[in-house]
Chain A
Amino acid sequence: MADEHWRHLARLDTHTLDQLMAEYGQAVWNYAFLLVKHRAMADDITQDVFLKAYRRFGEFRGEASVKTWLLRITHNVSMNYLRSSFFRRALLVDRIRGRGTGASAEQEFIDREAASELWRQVFRLPAKYREVLVLQARYELGVAEIAKILDIPEGTVKSRLYAARRRLSAMLSEEGLLHEPT
């Protein structure tokens, strides 16, 4: 559905909420999961995001696209979840890449269901690099939009993007997955 359609809506009802979820549900869930790497938490975050959107759709002024608006809410909600005492740190010690045994259920899930080895490596990146890279490459957002979503200066976005690319290239190289141009 065109962004124009959403711009002209004053509020959501359950029917338009369904439309919004059909269009952006997977994108929101994936973004949340990329941040928290926990399925149940990604479910909860997605629920919170759409309920916030439902309650506050009137605040969407159409300055950004609906997608950017939703991703911003997703980022904020995810950060709140991660900051909460129970998920402040969660170190799943026995991560064994490429093998299921002994890994945490979430790591197993990523190993099993990541769309490609490249994505598996992306999940291994530190969150701050993972996030900017995904927003740019997967969600096709510009630096200014990413800066707005993350509430950081554009310069920081650029430097993170640079570091993320370098880091991921190094990881892919280590794994023998990077095909250097000849």
Chain B
Amino acid sequence: MNRPEPDWHADLSGEPLRVKMFTPELAARIRVQAEAESARSARTMNASTRRALYIGAAASCLAVILLLALQQDRVTLLEQIVVGDSSVQPGEPVSAAGGGQDAAITGMATESEARSETGEDGATPKESASAGSDGAGQPAEPGQPAEAADPGAVEPDATSNPDAADEAGKTDDAARAAPDDSRIRYPVGSKYPRLMVKEPNREDWQLLVDLTHPNRQYEVIFEDFVDDRRWLIVSRVMTEKGDELRGRLMVDEMAWELDGWQWSGSLEFESGSLRNSDKRVIASWMGFGPKESAIEIFMGFLLDPDIVRIRVTDHRDDVHEAKLFPDARGVTLWYARTPEQPYHSDYVVEGWDAEGNMVYSKPLKDHALHVGHKENPDAEAQP
């Protein structure tokens, strides 16, 4: 570090780009997202608080019931000793909440008689357990049927169940986001739509692509079957501005998730200006999957009308024939892929004319987005 800095070093102290790319729109997008997160966490907090309150209330009720049961045992025992009434069996539900022990004993002595009548009326043990008291230490009138003391406090109904309320909230969210189309549903907790069609057609895939990438208007041009659990959906957007024509190609990986197809990844390539280009073939190379079992995607634009066929060869001379998709604007889109295989860093894109001559050849070498970082697949931002 003691070496003198090169001449150019100081020139790097300025901004790398002439334009400011952190725009007010991007800042607004982040702010909106932050606000939404705050609101969501506030809702979660409320639900947690409610849940804690309910748990607290339920625990209190259980404690009271337990206390009653304990007291009842003592009362029954005392009863048997003091009153000598052998008709009440130890353990039979008899209540004596609140009040002093004397009152409870007195009450219970009377109540125990009433209880046996109430019991015959068919009161359930649970009802019986809290019967005979108004909750303020007053024993119920003898002979009156015992009523359950606010069963709701012990067993909240569904509308006050915090879990149920949470679930309802989620369902509401999902219902709000879902379009009016039975083919689509939004799984709880996922922002991506799921296509509930086992064997989708072009229209179904288009719907899924549209909903997965709202406002982007990709047109599906090809569905590439990989295996039972995976399709690659190729789509395009062509934009024309004056003399300039640009194209974007996208490959969406759609995976089977439990009961439908759902987005799991995208590759996108955007061309520069296609008109007046001196290029014959524009190619991009990207990949899905880990190095041990990668699917390599090659796609781009064919600008030379003499080329009628494009193929990609690998280091073993395996040929991956490209699909061609002529566009009304005079360019042809092409797409090829390898099967799942260990990753290789050398491919050649070839262009062939109608006579069967190879008239274009371009080696592809992987040297672009390999960044120097430690291999740590679980690395998360650890501020």
- A87-B371 in contact (CB<8A): no
- A138-B284 in contact (CB<8A): no
- A18-B31 in contact (CB<8A): yes
Q: Write the A25-39 contact mask toward B (1 if CB under 8 angstroms, else 0).
A: 110111001111101
Report the minimal beta-carbon distance from A62 to chain B, rounded to whole angstroms: 12
* CB within 8 Å of A: which B68-123 residues: none
Greatest chain A CB density within 10 A among B30, B286, B380 is at B30
- A72-B30 in contact (CB<8A): no
Interface size on A, residues (CB 8 A): 94
Contacts of B22 in A (CB 8 A): 21, 25-26, 28-29, 46
- B12-A114 in contact (CB<8A): no
Task: With A91-B284, A113-B19 as known contacts, state yes or no: A101 contacts B383, CB within 8 Å.
Answer: no
> Looking at chain A's contact residues, is the secondary structure mostly helix, strand, loop, or mixed?
helix
Contacts of B366 in A (CB 8 A): 89, 91
Task: With A105-B270, A179-B7 as known contacts, state yes or no: A119 contacts B12, CB within 8 Å.
Answer: yes
- Expressed in whole angstroms, the Cα–Cα distance for A55 and B383 within the complex equals 11
- B12-A118 in contact (CB<8A): yes
Task: With A25-B22, A105-B272 as known contacts, state yes or no: A122 contacts B283, CB within 8 Å.
Answer: no
Size range of the interface on B? Answer: 35 or more
Q: CB < 8 Å: which of B38, B270, B369 contacts A87?
A: B369
- Expressed in whole angstroms, the Cα–Cα distance for A139 and B35 within the complex equals 30
- Expressed in whole angstroms, the Cα–Cα distance for A40 and B269 within the complex equals 11
Q: CB < 8 Å: which of B15, B268, B283 contacts A26?
A: B15
Q: CB < 8 Å: which of A14, A30, A37, A83 contacts B377?
A: A83
Q: CB < 8 Å: which of B33, B288, B369, B374 contacts A51?
A: B33
With CB as the reference atom, state the residue of chain B lying closest to A133. Answer: B12
Instruction: Decide yes or no whether A90 CB sits under 8 A from chain B.
Output: yes
Interface contacts (Cβ under 8 Å), in number, total 237
- B272-A101 in contact (CB<8A): yes
Instruction: Decide yes or no whether A158 CB sits under 8 A from chain B.
Output: yes
- A80-B27 in contact (CB<8A): no
Report the minimal beta-carbon distance from A178 to chain B, rounded to whole angstroms: 7
Instruction: Decide yes or no whether B277 CB sits under 8 A from chain A.
Output: yes
- Expressed in whole angstroms, the Cα–Cα distance for A172 and B289 within the complex equals 37
Instruction: Decide yes or no whether A65 CB sits under 8 A from chain B.
Output: no
Task: With A35-B371, A152-B374 as known contacts, state yes or no: A181 contacts B7, CB within 8 Å.
Answer: yes
Contacts of A116 in B (CB 8 A): 11
* CB within 8 Å of A: which B1-38 residues: 1, 3, 5-22, 26-27, 29-31, 33-35, 37-38
Report the minimal beta-carbon distance from B111 to chain A, rounded to whole angstroms: 57
* CB within 8 Å of B: which A38-95 residues: 39-40, 42-43, 46-56, 59-60, 69, 72-73, 76-77, 79-80, 82-94
- B31-A114 in contact (CB<8A): no
**Which residues of A approach B to under 8 Å, CB–CB?**
14, 17-18, 21-22, 25-26, 28-30, 33-37, 39-40, 42-43, 46-56, 59-60, 69, 72-73, 76-77, 79-80, 82-94, 100-108, 113-116, 118-119, 122-123, 126-129, 131, 133-134, 137-138, 140, 143, 150-152, 158, 160-162, 165, 168-169, 172, 178-179, 181
A-B contact pairs, 15 of them (CB 8 A): A26-B21, A40-B268, A48-B381, A79-B373, A87-B267, A90-B368, A91-B364, A91-B366, A102-B278, A103-B272, A105-B270, A115-B15, A134-B12, A134-B16, A160-B372
**Which residues of B approach A to under 8 Å, CB–CB?**
1, 3, 5-22, 26-27, 29-31, 33-35, 37-38, 246, 253, 265-273, 276-279, 282-290, 294, 300, 349, 362, 364-374, 377, 379-383
Contacts A21-B31, A92-B284 given; 15 further ones with Cβ under 8 A? Answer: A14-B34, A21-B30, A43-B21, A76-B379, A76-B380, A86-B267, A90-B285, A93-B349, A101-B277, A106-B270, A114-B16, A129-B372, A137-B12, A138-B14, A150-B373
